[in-house]
Structure 1
Amino acid sequence: MTPELRISAVRRFPFRWLAWLWILLVLGLGGGLGVLSYRLAFQEALRVSSPLLTGEKPPSSSGASFDHPVAIPEWTGRERVNILILGIDQREGEPGPWRTDTIMIATLDPVGLSAGLLSIPRDLWVTIPGFGENRINTAHFLGDAYGYPGGGIALAQETIRYNFGIPIAYYVRVNFTAFEKAIDLLGGIDLCVPESIDDPHYPDAHYGYEPFHLDAGCQHLDGRTALKYARTRATRGGDFDRMRRQQEVIRAVRERVLRLNMLPALIARAPALWETLKDGIRTNLTLEEMIALARLAARIPDEKIRMVTIGPSMTRPYTTPDGAEVLVRIPEKVREALADLFGPQLPRLEARVAVQNGTLRPGLATRVADSLRGLGAEIVEIGNADRFDYPETQILVRPGAQEAGRQVAGWLGLPPTAIREVQDLRCACDLLIRLGADFPER
């Protein structure tokens, strides 16, 4: 997607707005939690704040500014903006590929003036296009390892689109070293730990263990401790607690930036700070796009910023045929949460669907039809197939309905190879789902 930007000349550079620039990107960085916002604040500061650096006329702590004409981009697009945030488990000296330890999607609605953040559990069992079923955190690894066009980031984006219907134009990838440094450059963060954490098997940088303990209560965390707090799964809720803690860290960073007027000092140190952080970040957002999005974020009230996790009410545990313990989606629950967070951009199924049971499992077609109906599909027929020994599930589509077939395959956790075009479906439908023995009812 090509962003719509308009450049406007502003004579007074508002440091309060620069704080919003920082906060916007803090909200969206998951594993990086604030790194990209450093980059943006520093690069923009270098461009417009030479008087501060030379000592000519520094701004006051109240947000006063100096008189220099500054061309500041403005976001004029009306479509929702989605940004994929990946925190990678990159260890020192390793060339990769890497799995993603953190997966989040930040979203901004420029028309409704709202924003949100979605956390996705890394053990979620999904279809990775071209690679079959696997944990969602392997998409980035597989894309880099096997030369997927655009690499691991592109395959992670396509995996999100295929399984959730969320189109993503932008990405930010951050490693853990950059995260630690970013928190330390803020002077640490303050948060209240709801329960004591004791993790004797917290991983170190060399595939060993670095035991981690943190007492319950309100305290100040440096970058290293904040990273451990955001990564550990050694509490009763496992990965669900871990996602909640990551969002707590986001709130803590945001609170620190708002509460302390830190920007003048940080801007003065901009060149050295960016040099410290730059190796840990990769993004396709340009400086102008980030500034424009920050101006948009400045107009969004706090009560219209939401944080959502795909949690235990939207998933169920599942053991794969290979014995791996993973999570699978409850499609209608996930769909409801995504529609609430992302709004009407999520595509509805514009197709008529028939479901046939080609197995000996009683009521299978009805259960699948009910699930699809809860996702907004129009079910026109439920019944049995012409026989009950079909080994494989197929989605038979009429010519021109391939996209609807891919959408249903994503909802049901079926690979793209399950879709087959048929000239005559012999029903008043656009898609015929013929359930076979391999259908993954979980």
Structure 2
Amino acid sequence: MKKKTKWKIAALSVLVIGVSASGWAYWSLDPSRHFENQDIPVLAQPQTAEAAAPGPVQEPPKPDMKSFNILILGVDSRSGEPSRSDVMMAVHVVPAERKVNILSLPRDTRVPVKGVGLTKLNHAHIVGESKGGNQQGTLVATQTVSDFLGVPINYYAKTNFEGFKRIVDKVGGVDLTLEKDLHLKFQKTTIPKGQQHFDGDTALKVVRERYGAEGGEFGRQEEQSQVLRSIAIELLKPDKIPQLATLLPSLRKDILDTNFSDSDLISLAWLFKGVGQDNFRYTQLPGHSGREEDPLVGSNLYYWIPDSESVKKIKEDLF
């Protein structure tokens, strides 16, 4: 009888500890509470042409309300060459309101890059990396986006194509909804419209396809934002929660580079998963196509030329 009583007490103790731990995790990692208790860093603030070179801001002003901006970079890393940022998204997050605004920045956007002049946005990472390696590439890219949009950048997450594929595979694939059949030009195959479950290799082909996607480059960007949310949903499915302790360190290696902590990433994924459709806003950078001389490569290139008035309005509406 005593043995049974001891077993019941032990089982009850384990249950209480488990419930308490789950409650603590829920309480501490809830996005509004987690980020409210953080000192939000500022990696870049808008600078004038005379300001110092890009780099971390030493004493950032503290915002009245806890919101922050993330720069997401998908870089094209090729052996022996500086990395170009093929994917760039500026994301504004308001944890207390569970609000996420995503602004997709076309890689061909014509922007000023310090020390170069008006060039393609994806050249910013090349310029920085050529001067000071991977970290400087990140800093120049973040500073360029901060200057262009007129907003601070607080966090960044950077991966390459191989890392992206591994992340998608490790969360078990992602669900994407295609509005129409997608023809993959270089693979010479077509993916039918509707909801599809993709592994890492196919998901990468989908988000890199700019010719067969509906809306071309802009259609590709919208698919990229779908992937972000889908990864968060997969990561926090009930069967994945027990694996987070081992899964997250592995995912961090595939992200390659970020200033988010492990707990930040879990809390952010939680927010992305739970945000309502009305609070998940995706915007494409307005402008027009054109050709201009590029000072970096010394030839006439295709650009996406942003509308300056629309950029001001985007800053007011999204950030």
Q: Could you tell me which residue of structure 2 aligns to residue 316 of structure 1?
A: 288
1:332-375 deviations in Å (ceiling 9; x for gaps): 12221231111xxxxxxxxxxxxxxxxxxxxxxxxxxxxxxxxx
Letter in 2 for 1:242: R
Distance in 2, matches of 1:298 and 1:226, equals 19
Q: Could you tell me which residue of structure 2 aligns to residue 422 of structure 1?
A: none
Letter in 1 for 2:223: R
Distance in 1, matches of 2:308 and 2:265, equals 33
Secondary structure in structure 1 of the residue aligned to 2:164: helix
Letter in 2 for 1:315: G
Distance 1:234 1:188, change over 3 A: same
Q: Could you tell me which residue of structure 1 aligns to residue 36 of structure 2?
A: 75
2:170 to 162, 185, 201: 185
Q: Between Structure 1 and Structure 2, which shows a larger proportion of helix residues? A: 2
Q: Could you tell me which residue of structure 2 aligns to residue 230 of structure 1?
A: 207
Q: Is the 8 A contact 1:128 1:139 kept in 2?
A: yes
Kindly tell me the number of residue pairs found equivalent between the two proteins: 267
Q: Could you tell me which residue of structure 2 aligns to residue 249 of structure 1?
A: 227
Distance 1:300 1:16, change over 3 A: farther
1:117 to 83, 102, 117: 102
1:386-416 deviations in Å (ceiling 9; x for gaps): xxxxxxxxxxxxxxxxxxxxxxxxxxxxxxx
1:133-179 deviations in Å (ceiling 9; x for gaps): 11101101111112389511110111112211021122111111121
1:403-432 deviations in Å (ceiling 9; x for gaps): xxxxxxxxxxxxxxxxxxxxxxxxxxxxxx
Letter in 2 for 1:283: T
Secondary structure in structure 2 of the residue aligned to 1:323: strand
Letter in 1 for 2:258: T
Q: Is the 8 A contact 1:75 1:289 kept in 2?
A: no
1:37-63 deviations in Å (ceiling 9; x for gaps): xxxxxxxxxxxxxxxxxxxxxxxxxxx
1:160 to 139, 142, 145: 145
Alignment of 1:13-162 (within 5 A): 13-14=22-23, 17=26, 75-76=36-37, 78-91=65-78, 94-110=79-95, 114-147=99-132, 151-162=136-147
Secondary structure in structure 1 of the residue aligned to 2:303: strand
Distance in 2, matches of 1:267 and 1:130, equals 43
Distance in 2, matches of 1:230 and 1:297, equals 19
Q: Is the 8 A contact 2:158 2:258 kept in 1?
A: yes
Distance 1:262 1:16, change over 3 A: farther
Distance 1:336 1:127, change over 3 A: same
Secondary structure in structure 1 of the residue aligned to 2:122: helix
Q: Could you tell me which residue of structure 2 aligns to residue 7 of structure 1?
A: none
Letter in 2 for 1:230: V
1:173 and 2:182 are equivalent in the alignment: no
Q: Is the 8 A contact 2:222 2:282 kept in 1?
A: no
C-alpha displacement at 1:233, in angstroms? 0.6
Letter in 2 for 1:319: R
C-alpha displacement at 1:291, in angstroms? 5.7
C-alpha displacement at 1:222, in angstroms? 1.0
1:281 and 2:256 are equivalent in the alignment: yes
Q: Is the 8 A contact 2:232 2:272 kept in 1?
A: no
1:278-299 deviations in Å (ceiling 9; x for gaps): 1552012234554666787799
Distance in 1, matches of 2:233 and 2:268, equals 20
Q: Could you tell me which residue of structure 1 aligns to residue 6 of structure 2?
A: none
Q: Is the 8 A contact 1:108 1:116 kept in 2?
A: yes
Question: Which TM-score applies when normalising by structure 2?
Answer: 0.72
2:282 to 307, 316, 331: 307
C-alpha displacement at 1:327, in angstroms? 0.9
Distance in 1, matches of 2:162 and 2:180, equals 26
Q: Is the 8 A contact 1:74 1:295 kept in 2?
A: no
Q: Is the 8 A contact 2:70 2:90 kept in 1?
A: yes
- Over the residues paired in the alignment, what is the CA RMSD in angstroms? 3.3
Sequence identity (%): 29
User: Whose Rg is larger?
Assistant: 1
The answer to which structure, 1 or 2, has the higher relative contact order (CA under 8 A, 6+ apart) is 2
Distance in 2, matches of 1:100 and 1:237, equals 21
Alignment of 1:314-393 (within 5 A): 314-321=286-293, 322-342=299-319
Question: Which TM-score applies when normalising by structure 1?
Answer: 0.53
Distance in 2, matches of 1:123 and 1:338, equals 20
Distance 1:289 1:189, change over 3 A: closer
